[in-house]
Amino acid sequence: MAQIVKRAYKYRFYPTPGQAGELARTFGCVRLVCNEALEERTRAYNLEGKRVSSMESSAMLTAWKRSGDYDFPREVSSVPLRQALRHLQAAFANFFAKRAKYPTFKSKRKSRASAEYTRSAFRWRDGELAPAKVAAPLAIVWSRPLPEGAEPSPVTVPKGAAGRWFVSILLGEKVSALPPAVRNVDVDAGVTALVTLSTGEKIANPRHERRDRRKVAKARRSLSRKEKDSANRAKARLKAARVYARVADRRRDHPRQVTTRLVRENQVITVEDLTVRDMVKNRRLGRAISDAAWRRMRSMLEYKAAWYGRTLVAVDRWLPSSRLCSACGASQEKMPLNVRLGECACGTVRDRDVNAARNVLAAGPAES
């Protein structure tokens, strides 16, 4: 059975100096409009107890353009500016619903520079994409093809801290369920091994951050020695951002490959319902847990299982999976982290992670 899902395709592109200048002006106007609207909303709420609606924010944008105080918002497409106001409205809705913190002002240095274009604000013809106010199509590196007959909407153009330009194309894509698989598996997340499967297989942890830790430390030291607001500091900041971007790219790519394989090969996937947000606060293991990207892997399993007709089961986090013997069910009082192999009174010698994975797999049917 096929279903339509929203899927984003992200590509890198290389703008000409003119295109880079136009997009940079758009980013600056988006940031200005967001900050002005946030300031006005905050003033109205604090002084008058009034919530500003989306229509009122849109009217403010028109008034700002006509006032003459700001000339440059009239030089860029109005669509990214109105999209920024819609996103601010969503942020306030999440705040009042207690799903998020109060919106913050956008910083030129720290905030993500991006602009969102709806279908009316870009040209799409014969595989070439040109945002509004940009004369020539963008030089996009099509690292993978778009689905046949794709009609992108909307399109987001972000610029990363490492100076790389991207275009993110959102599509409504038809996804069909995979043929039924005969195998079920448990996925036990770890640090030494990224995941241990109930089949006994262990998938190695690449430890991306650890591999580049010296480069990260060197880049940070170089940045700290540069004079504030100097050209050399800007160059050092860019070098440091490139090192971090390399680590982040690999952190995203590896879980994507692992989760795709798990979803293709298994019908039911059982995981532990871990509270990663609390676990990363551990001073000794927090860095390693963040590097393993457990939370990202869990979210990928969730949406891929929904797309391809698989079942994802989350088992209670308080299940003593490491202390229970998967052969006889006996429980040990303690199982320190440094103990990787254990022997049960029944004579079973078990690997800690494989044993935990098998216990979680056995507990899966009770949770589903």
Active-site residue set: 188, 272, 353
Q: Alpha-carbon distance 301 to 313, whole Å?
A: 10
Q: Alpha-carbon distance 245 to 162, whole Å?
A: 7
Tokens of 277: 């947000």
Q: Alpha-carbon distance 299 to 190, whole Å?
A: 16
Tokens of 253: 């790519």
Tokens of 290: 């963040």
The dihedral formed by the CA atoms of 215, 220, 221 and 223, expressed in degrees to the nearest 10: 130
Kindly state the greatest CA–CA separation across the chain.
Answer: 83
User: Which residues contact residue 34 at a Cβ distance below 8 angstroms, ignoring those fewer than 6 apart?
Assistant: 84, 85, 87, 88, 105, 106
Tokens of 308: 């391809």
User: Which residues contact residue 340 at a Cβ distance below 8 angstroms, ignoring those fewer than 6 apart?
Assistant: 192, 351, 352, 353
CA dist list (Å): 347 to 209, 259, 284, 335: 40, 35, 33, 17
